[in-house]
Every structure is written in structure tokens, then in C-alpha cells.
Structure 1
Amino acid sequence: MAHQEHQNLINKLSSCLAACEHCADACLSEDNIDAMVECIRIDRDCAEVCALAIKFVSRDSDYASAILDRCADLCSACAEECGKHDHDHCQECAKACRECADACRNY
């Protein structure tokens, strides 16, 4: 079964999704929310594409690799944006995104 065969990738996608959701929510509580707008937007986009990728990989879709290519691109962009901020939640998100991007590229 594809979902068992690719469990490590699914785990990375799931971890990234959770980190992005947490980061976006935590950014909303920061003092200078205006500085966090782009971070929040890309966190939300990254979480959505990770959720989509989990579905495509789990069902062994013929289009999984195309989704994972876009997911890797978005995870890398999210890691770059979150990496600009010193908040722990942003740094943790950046790490999860980098790991997810690598896992997507190694599919």
C-alpha cells in the first residue's frame, strides 16, 4: 500500500502542516502583526498544499509527483520567510518546512 510505503514522507508532510498552522496562529498574537502578514499567508498556503499532498501520496495518485514538486517549492519559500523571524514558532516552522521540502524532492 502506498501510504505504508511512503509513511516517512506522509509524516514529514503532516509535521509541516501542523507547524505551519501553529506558526500562523502564533503570529496572530505577536506585537507587530503587520510584520507577520506574509509569514501568516505563506504558512496557510504551505499547510494547505501539505494536506493536499498527503491525500495524493496516500492514494498513490499518478499526479502525486506534480503536487510534491509544488509542495517542495512552497515549503522552501515558507522556510525562507519563517527563517526571517526570531520567534521560536517561526524557527520551528522553518525547520519543519525544510525537512518537508527535502522529503518531497526525494519522493
Structure 2
Amino acid sequence: MLLVHEEYQSSFDVALKCAVECEHCAEACMGQAEMVKCARTCLDCAEICRTISTYMVRGSRFISHLARACAEICQACADECSSHDTEHCQKCAQACREAVKEYNNIAAVAA
């Protein structure tokens, strides 16, 4: 029998990867006036990904609700980061797109 957190292990891994890439991107963008929106969006995205990973560990009944919000925020981050040519932004955008897919799957299954 799988424990609740083991059921979400692959989703947990995707969430944490996204959080790490977003933190890295935000750090790289800080101090550049033209990258403020990118940095702030990445920080928001990282925070929500860490939050949902905690909900996954607990097997919270609110995961599907949060997954919808996470997908929306990660999509916004992917859109913002993909508009920049830097390697860190492109890596972040890719991690966000993977997270959006994962969160949409969670929202559909857990609803």
C-alpha cells in the first residue's frame, strides 16, 4: 500500500524542480530593472510550488483546488520567462510548463 505522499511522488518532484528553477531564475534576474516582473513572477511561482508540495505530503483534500491555482501561476511564469532569451529563463519556462501539465492532471483526477 502506498502512503499518501508516495502517491504524489512524481508530482512532488515536478513541483520542487519548478520551485528550484524559479528561485534560480529570480536570483539571476534581480537587480536588472527590465527583469523585475520576471523575478517577481518567478518568486510567486516558486512559493506556490513549495506550498502544493507540502499539501501533497499531507495528502490534503484541497490539492485539486490548489493545483488549479498552481497551474495558472506556473503558466504565467512560463509565459513571462519564455519571452526572455537567457538560459535561466528558458530553463525556468520549461520547468513551469512541466508543472502546468502535472497540476492540470492532478486537478482533473482529484476533482
Partner of 1:61: 60
Q: Provide the rounded CA distance (Å) in 2 between the counterparts of 1:37 and 1:16.
A: 19
Partner of 1:6: 8
Compute the RMSD of aligned alpha carbons: 0.8
Moved over 4 A (4+): none
Deviation string, structure 1 residues 9-54 (Cα, Å, up to 9, x no partner)? 000000000000000001126xxx1110100000000000001100
Give the total of aligned pairs.
104
Partner of 1:73: 72
- TM-score normalised according to structure 1 size: 0.94
Partner of 1:104: 103
Identity %: 41
Partner of 2:109: none
Q: Provide the rounded CA distance (Å) in 1 between the counterparts of 2:100 and 2:57.
A: 17
- Gapped runs of 5+ residues in structure 1? none
Q: Provide the rounded CA distance (Å) in 2 between the counterparts of 1:3 and 1:61.
A: 10
- Gapped runs of 5+ residues in structure 2? 107-111
SS state at 2:59 partner = coil
